[in-house]
Structure 1
Amino acid sequence: MAAAARARKLGKRFLMTDHMLVVSGFYLVFPVVALHFVGQLGWAAASVGLALGVRQMAQQGMALFGGSLSDRFGAKPMIVGGMLLRALGFATMAYAVNPAMLVLSCVLSGLGGALFDPARGALVVKLTRPAERPRFYSILMMQESVAAVTGALLGTMLLGVEFRWVGLGGCAAFVLAALANAWLLPAYRVATPGTSAVNAMRIPLRDKPFIMLVLTLSGYYIMTVQLMMLVPVTLTELSGTPRTVAWMYAVDALLALMLLYPMARLGERYLTLEARLLAGIGIMCGAVLAMSAAAALLPMFVCIAVFYTGSLVAEPARESLVSRYARPSARASYMGLSRFGLALGGLFGYTAGGWLLDWSRAVHTPALPWLVLAAIGLLTLTVLACAAAPLPQKKSPPVAG
């Protein structure tokens, strides 16, 4: 028992260190993609949004397949191979000169994530107890916020020199992460031995309540992906410099460090996971609606701060709620299928976000994208609330006599 507890402790420490490196490499590149190709090169926002949406679909849409391979062959080979494939995608993006090359780089990056992300998610479920899981997710989110602002700041600095260094910097980060996992990560099995890849895929696909939750959460992701599509472009237009995007992630990091862990503890004490998820999405919807009226930099940053606060409430609850469904025989497959909502939400969110941005400029209605996004968020909130509501109890018929 002592040896198992020590192994879990060391495994969690490695996951936290690895998480910082992976998140920094990701945010070094993707928040500035729209700034470079739309803002600097003048490409159509819809075409860049399509490329980003394809990356999301390639990663999250194939995550079930990547998770089933992790259940069958173990986490380590999928993590190392996936990180190297993402590094290749970033290297290709560094030299993208047309939309086709950008789409190719995004597909390679997405397929890499489809291999390593479900395996890493399954390791979190394997190495944590259910009672401690929400707090561990909160710690990972705190780290993610700090790593995001670090990566975004470095990305915007490199963008001032040349975008090529942005792509090559992200490539270097994931090569380093792959080497660290190859050297230090034990050969963990994340599923019951003997589970075939096909059977591991079938188990979550037959779980109808889980699939309904995953599909409904696609509306939540349509809002969250705008932090890498509409929000950076809007901030740059309001401020006149892409450096403002790094300050957006600084706000996220500051709020996470101040609020995330205390809110997680209070939520555990007073609210269910479902209630925390609904509360967080409700706050995010209000922030997106307010963005439609934000015509200056300060009001926009206030809206962003409120949006981030909502995500700090919703995201640990969402991860914990999803992990509650994962069975030991198919942990990575469950985590992989849980990303399908992000695949749909990402593809639609990036593509529609870019299209709405182009359309709003053409008709001189800057509030249009935010109003549509707020409506989608409210619809998602309504469906989740109905699903979480307890069924009414049938009254017993009166007893005769």
Structure 2
Amino acid sequence: MSEPSTERRRGSWRRLPAGVRLLLASQLAFNVGFYLVVPFLAVHLSQDLVIAGWLVGVVLGVRTFSQQGLFLIGGALTDRFGVRRVLLTGCAVRIAGFCVLGWATSLPGVFAGTVLTGFAAALFSPAVETGLAHEGRRLEDAGGVTRAELFALDAVVGKVGSLLGPALGAALLGVDFTTTCLVAAAIFAVVLAANARWAPREGAGAPREVSVSAGWGAVLRNRRFLVFTGLYSTLLLAYNQMYLALPVELERATGSQEALGAAFVLAAVVTVCLQVPLARWARRRGPATALPLGFTVTAAAFALVAAAIALPVPGWVPALAPAAGFVVLLHLGSALAGPVARDLVPPLAGERHVGAHYGALASAGGLAVLLGSAGAGALLEPGAVTPWALLALLPLASAAGLAVLARAVPVPAPRR
């Protein structure tokens, strides 16, 4: 393969094929619509509908399960029916979900809306991920951007969407929740229309599998992939601590959680500025180097806070320094390991039933977050070292396991 030009290696947006740009733009719009509504859902349920706090928690838990728990179904359906059909179905289901949620005035309606919105993501996200995987392989074989770079761009647009969504939602705080849901539904209607008009009809070049159950069977028989899934899940658990452990650290350091918004802005800056160049560097180094390094950096994020709690901090060190270091290291580790890990899924799957494997990876991660966060939540309190130390050990153990596993997986030779 000839050396690609510098311009092609940059993988700039305008040089990506139209189908890939549509997938990434759809992911951006999907996240904007999601974060436009979901961060404000609990307030609507408790204040507008006067639902008890424990029931609000149940509703939010059902939404999470209907998304993460059903990714395996969405991935297998993508293998069977193609990226385009499942992506369009996910958009339609999300539109219906937000309409139901916006107009719901009773608990059954709320549950129906939340299940629909969660299941929509379980359809949409594996479809996009599978489409990027197939397109990334084609582009990489042709000397264009690598599959890992496409996944890095996907992470960037996802992060941008997670910032724009709440900002738009905050701008709509003066209107009722129904209007907010209808605005989100309109965003998904645009995504639906764009993909109905321009999305490739052959599922981004993906081979069609004969049945949905065959994908599940292929996943369960793939022992190497199951080991990889267990090891990778600690990265998802670690990332989720932005929502659980970080507020506790801010409470310890400053006595409040007022800096949480600034922490998320810092996370976005790190991701947008460094995700793509770090993914390129990691892809050149290969998974046997990039994955252990990324997970080790992630472990260092938790070790830093544990050390700051256990050891006296000099007065000249800003109180927010451990939290800021945690955010930066956590996202550097994710930037190094995440795209390379997602790039490794198709080789682990033997380039068959790719959607089912991506779905299983996401569902396993959701289970790890559920169980791990429950355990961490029971231990986390301001000034407690133990939970931070334990959370550091998990990705460190994964780093050791991935260093061995990644060497046994055949991957395309990195381009220099």
TM-score, L = length of structure 2: 0.74
Q: 1:309-328 residue pairs with structure 2 within 5 A?
A: 309-328=332-351
1:276 is the counterpart of 2:290: yes
How many matched pairs? 376
Q: Using the alignment, how far apart are the partners of 1:193 and 1:332 within structure 2?
A: 10
Cα deviation 1:299-320 (Å, max 9, x = unaligned): 4233212211221111111111
Contact 2:304 2:325 (8 Å CA) reproduced: no
In structure 2, the CA distance between the partners of 1:383 and 1:146, relative to structure 1 (3 Å rule), is: same
Instruction: Give the AA of the match of 2:272.
Output: L
Looking at structure 1, the residues matched to 107 and 375 of structure 2 have their Cα atoms a distance apart, in angstroms, of 17
Quickly say closer, same or farther: Cα 1:388–1:265, change in 2 above 3 A.
closer
Range with bigger deviation, 187-196 or 146-155:
187-196
Q: Deviations over 1:253-285 (max 9, x none)?
A: 32233322322232233x221321221222122
Partner of 1:118: 126
Cα displacement string for residues 297-347 of structure 1 (whole angstroms, at most 9, x for unaligned residues): 454233212211221111111111123224454232222222222221232
Equivalent residue number for residue 333 of structure 1: 356
Instruction: Describe the shift of the 1:31–1:380 C-alpha distance in structure 2 as closer, same or farther (beyond 3 A).
Output: farther
Equivalence map 1:122-161=2 (5 Å)? 122-129=130-137, 131=140, 132-158=146-172
- The CA deviation at 1:106 is 4.0
Letter in structure 1 aligned against 2:367? L
Change (3 A) 1:236 1:62: same
Aligned to 1:398: none
Aligned partner of 1:265: which letter?
Answer: R
Moved more, 171-180 or 290-299: 290-299
**Mapped pair 1:308 → 2:331:** yes
Whichever residue aligns with residue 214 of structure 1, its letter is T
Compare relative contact order (CA 8 Å, sep 6+) and give the higher one, 1 or 2.
Answer: 1
C-alpha separation in 1, matches of 2:152 and 2:121:
21
Paired residue secondary structure (2:227)? helix
Summarize the Cα distance change of 1:83–1:236 in structure 2 as closer, same or farther, 3 Å threshold.
farther
- Report the alpha carbon displacement of residue 123 of structure 1 after superposing the two structures with TM: 1.0
Aligned to 1:202: 217
SS in 2 for 1:217: helix
Q: For the Cα contact (< 8 Å) 2:219–2:356, is it kept in 1?
A: yes
Q: Per the alignment, in what secondary structure is the counterpart of residue 128 of structure 1?
A: helix
- Name the CA distance, whole Å, in 2 between partners of 1:240 and 1:143: 30
Query: Hey, what does 1:384 align to over in structure 2?
Result: 402
Query: Which amino acid counterpart does residue 269 of structure 2 have in structure 1?
Result: L
- Number of the residue aligned with 1:4: none
Amino acid in structure 2 at the alignment position of 1:15 = L
Deviations 1:89-142 (A, max 9, x none): 445555788988766544332211222222211111221227411122222222
Cα distance change of structure 1 residues 24 and 75 upon mapping to structure 2, 3 Å threshold:
same
Task: Report which stretch shifted further, 219-228 or 342-351.
Answer: 342-351
Equivalent position of 1:211 in the other structure: 226
Aligned residue in 2 for 1:227: 242
Unaligned runs of 5+ in 2: 1-15, 141-145, 310-317, 409-416
Aligned to 1:68: 76
CA contact (8 A) 1:47 1:99 kept: no
Give CA deviations for 1:237-257 in whole Å, capped at 9, x if unaligned: 958677x55533432332233
Identity %: 27
Residues in 2 aligned to 1:347 and 1:313: alpha-carbon distance in whole angstroms: 24
How large is the RMSD of aligned CA atoms in angstroms?
3.9
Change in 2 beyond 3 A, CA 1:324/1:24 = farther
- Matched residue, 2:8: none
Query: 2:229 touches 2:361 (CA, 8 Å); kept in 1?
Result: yes
Candidates 5, 23, 31, aligned match of 1:23: 31
In structure 2, the CA distance between the partners of 1:311 and 1:194, relative to structure 1 (3 Å rule), is closer
Match of 1:86 in 2: 94
Q: Output the amino acid matched with 2:391.
A: L
Q: Distance in 2 between matches of 1:107 and 1:284?
A: 32
Which deviations, in whole Å up to 9, do the C-alpha atoms of 1:76-101 show, x marking residues without a partner? 22212222323444455557889887
Amino acid at match of 1:331: V
Which region of structure 1 is more displaced relative to structure 2, 244-253 or 274-283? 244-253
For the Cα contact (< 8 Å) 1:291–1:303, is it kept in 2?
A: yes
SS at match of 2:17: helix
TM-score (norm 1): 0.77
2:369 maps to 346
Q: Per the alignment, do residues 75 and 264 of structure 1 end up closer, same or farther by CA in structure 2, a change over 3 Å counting?
A: closer
User: Residues 81, 285 of structure 1: CA spacing in aligned structure 2 closer, same or farther, 3 A cutoff?
Assistant: same
